[in-house]
Amino acid sequence: KALLAKHGVALAETAEKRGVLLNYEAAVAGGIPVIKTMREAMAGNSVTRVFGILNGTCNYILTRMEAEGLSFDDCLKDAQRLGYAEADPTFDIEGHDTAHKLSILTSLAFGTRIAANDIYMEGISNISQADIRAAGDLGYRIKLLGVAQRTESGIEQRVHPTMVPTASVIAQVHGVTNAVAIETDI
């Protein structure tokens, strides 16, 4: 995914010149066929916003923190023990992985390329049990979201912990599962 986020346009052009397909469905949101959906089913629509949970490790940690009242550090250690998180989890927990995936989705959704390093990123390493409880008391759940949307000034992209209403579909995504929502003009 990092390779695609940085060099996707050049790779796609090279593949087209050589008459081969560049398949990268698994690079974003695991088993969700979001790339195919955006390329084929959404072709006649104008995307206004794409957002989602794009990193299973972060979602696992936040899910465990909320469900079991555990600290961030305890959940991270468990994620590492289970193989969800690397020995150095920085790429995941600080939002870099989500930013790379968001960069790929933005390219498909809006036909523009914004480097992952240019996306605002805030990870989950500073989320505390107090944050989780406060969100819950207000009827929200904290999720690390990647968001790209069309604004009057262009395409805005960001990755950050977000309070989402517990009744929303995206709030119902737990564990290492990913989810992507696409909003269009229709």
Confidence class for position 19, pLDDT limits 50, 70, 90: low
- Domain range for residue 150? 1-184
Position 38 scores a pLDDT of: 61
- pTM value is 0.82
Longest dimension (CA), the chain: 56
Please say if 101 is a catalytic residue.
Answer: yes
Tally of CA atoms within 13 A in the half-sphere of 30 that contains its CB: 11
Tally of CA atoms within 13 A in the half-sphere of 140 that contains its CB: 12
The CATH number of the domain where 93 resides is what? Answer: 3.30.360.10
Which helix (H) or strand (E) segment holds residue 51: the answer is: strand 47-53
> Which is catalytic among the residues 1, 77, 101, 143?
101
Round the average pLDDT of the chain to a whole number and report it: 85
Q: What's the rounded mean pLDDT across residues 49-75?
A: 97
Q: What's the rounded mean pLDDT across residues 63-82?
A: 98
Contact between 165 and 139 (Cβ < 8 Å): yes
Confidence class for position 16, pLDDT limits 50, 70, 90: low
CA-based torsion, 97, 119, 53, 36: positive or negative: negative
Closest CA to 58 of 134, 159, 183: 159
Position 111 scores a pLDDT of: 82
Q: What's the rounded mean pLDDT across residues 35-63?
A: 82
Contact between 123 and 94 (Cβ < 8 Å): yes
How many structural domains comprise the chain? 1
Question: pLDDT tens for residues 81-139?
Answer: 999 999 999 999 999 999 998 998 888 888 887 888 899 999 999 999 999 999 999 99
Q: Which two three-digit tokens encode residue 113?
A: 């390329």
